[in-house]
Every structure is written in C-alpha cells, then in structure tokens.
Amino acid sequence: MRVATIVGTRAQFVKAAPVSVALAARGHEEHLIHTGQHYGPLMSDVFFEELPLPTPELNLGVGSGKTGWQVAETLLRTEQALADLMPDIVVVYGDASATLGGALAARKARLPLAHVEAGLRSGNRAMPEEDNRILTDHAADLLLCPTPTAMKNLRREGLAKRAKLVGDTMCDAVRRFLPLALEKTTLLEELGLESGRYFLATVHRNYNTEDPVVLGRLVQALAALDLPVVFLVHPRTRKTLAIQPEAPGAASSGDRIIAIEPRSYLETLLLQSHAAAVLTDSGGMQKEAMLVGTPCVTLRPETEWPETVESGWNVLAGSDPERIVEAVSGLVAPKETPDILGDGAAAEKVVAALERKVGQGSGA
C-alpha cells in the first residue's frame, strides 16, 4: 500500500509518528509530504530528529501567512506532488491549514482521502481550525475518530457510514515517548525549575494572539499567578508581543514569567509532566496534560476535547485574567486518568482501516 501522508505543524508530526511506525511494521510504503507550515529548527526539524518519522520526501515551503493563503498555497503545491506520487490513499491529520489544503488537493487528484482525528467540534466557527475540521471531514472518504463524542458529531452530520472509532494517536505517542522525555531532567536544572513548583503556558490561537489587548490580558494573568510560569512563546505570539508593552520580559512582568522559545516534543512532555498545571489554548496540550497527570486550564471559552473537562482534568477559563487566576487556584487533580482516548493502539487501528479502504488485507 502506497500512502501519502501530508503534515505541516508540530502537532501533526506527533500525531503521525505512531502511524508511521505502524505502516512500516506492516510493510507499507509511506511518502511524507511536509507542507512547511511550521518550519525552522524548533518548530519542525527537531521533531524529525526525535520522532520515528520518515524524512520528508518533499518540503513545500508554504511557511507563515493568513489561513486562506496557507490553504490555497498548500492546495496548489500538494496537487502536483500527489499527481507525481499517485498513492493508493492520502492521509491528513488534525485541523491545520495543511489539513484542509492537503484534503482539497487529494479530492482534486481523485485520490481516496483519510482524515485522522476526525469528528472534533468546538462549536466556535470563528476558529479557522473549526472550519478546517468540518470541511475536511465532509471531503474525506474515511473518517478516523479519536473518541465516541467525535463519532456522535459525525452521525449528526450524516457522515456515520464513513466513520470508524480508532482512538487518539497522540495518546499512543505519549505512552511511547514519555519514558524518554522523563530522562531529560537536566532541562529543569537549566531553567532553574523545581518539580511541581512552576506552571507551563502556551498561547498560539489566532484570536488570542492577533489582538495585542487580548494577549496582554493573558500575560497579565500569567504574571499574577503564585508560581513561576514557563511560557513557551510561539512565533506568532512573539510577533504580537513585540508591540505589546506588557510582554514577557518587560519590566512589568518582573521575574514571574520565564519566556523561552518552543521546545522539542520530548522536552515539552517533560515540562508538562513536572508542572503544577498547564495553561494553554492548544487542543493537543489539553490531552497531553491529562495523559501525564497534570491538571490544565484552557485559555479559551470552549474545547474540541470535552472529555478532558468532563473528567475533571481541564477547566475552561477564556482570556479573563481574574477567571484564569481563580481557575488555577481551584485546580485539584483527579485521582485517576480515564481511558477516554483509546488503549494506546490507535495507530495500528488506523493502518488496518487504511488497508481495508484500499482493499489490501483484512486488518484487525
């Protein structure tokens, strides 16, 4: 089976890695197309060094830009790549511009399309990611869902016949790579951190980063917490902070916020594992925090992962500083981590579903 995998962001590299391992174990031929939505040593290169991903056959170099432009460029550049490869099936992941652009390219090439992490819905159509999810799901031939909630969402949209529950490949990744991450203990020493005595924060969503006032309120909340905050600053966030007087590192933030560049996947897992809490607007980190046993405060009013909230591991706080501080002060980690994201074998189930779709093998 010839599989074309289209990825372009840090989260997608993580989601794809377990599936790449499973494809190789079954003797399949994978061709990795990197759209270049995320690029550079910390946002891209280190993931291919740390994770068992094949070297990208193509890097399309799409880069940064407005969502519509990124989708259009991904479509244009991927369409020719797929015409040259002519795979048996195309696989896209998640909800980024690379996802929708790759999905449209597969449809234009008349190639079977599978969407891993299908069926997620936040209910917020102001998020570009929500449109990307919905449009990709309706374009795909095979919808591979991480949770029963995702399956229910697709049933409501009349897509049940294309959907299959497989579990979450990010859960596979955490189970596989957390032991390796926990070996990187020197990072805590380098940053002057004590386990359980700091918070970890990330902010990258458009509606939190494009408006300096909104981002300034989030920084205000981080600076008001009672422990140091390690702030992994996304390039988009750093661009806005450059015109925001209350940015991390400015005199008004004091020593409370430790603003650093994004770290590798393994180092980020380590930092999540030892944090007192994670504060983020990332969908992936909401899950990862729960999986490593760290409570989370989501800097959004909604989530596409309601299971993390229902299980008590996640609190939705939006961007109001008082609400964020209150949410953090009231956090209590549940005694158990529920098995709501699968059994750690999602990648094998993804590959089995791909095999059935292209008519090779009976799967598992």
Instruction: Find the radius of gyration of the CA atoms of the chain.
Output: 20
- Catalytic one of 31, 38, 204, 274: 204
**Residue 352 token pair:** 């089995």
Question: Which helix (H) or strand (E) covers residue 33, if one does?
Answer: strand 29-34
**Residue 252 token pair:** 């008004």
Cα dihedral 272, 273, 275, 278 in deg (nearest 10): 40
Burial tier of 186 (Cβ tally within 10 Å: 0-12, 13-18, 19+):
exposed
**Residue 154 token pair:** 């697709």
Burial annotation 276-311 (CB, 10 A radius, 16+ → b, else e) = bbbbbbbbbbbbbbbbbebbbbbbbeebbbbbbbee
Question: Is the CB of residue 172 less than 8 Å from the CB of residue 346?
Answer: yes
**Residue 145 token pair:** 């869902």
**Residue 284 token pair:** 């992936």
Using N-to-C axis directions, what is the helix angle for 10-25 and 265-274, rounded to 10°? 110
DSSP state of 95: T
Q: Catalytic: 204? A: yes
Strands 142-145 and 314-316: unpaired
| Length of the chain (residues) | 364
Helices (H), the chain: 10-25, 46-50, 67-85, 97-108, 128-139, 148-156, 169-181, 186-191, 206-209, 212-223, 235-241, 265-274, 283-292, 306-310, 321-329, 346-358
Residues marked active site are found at: 204
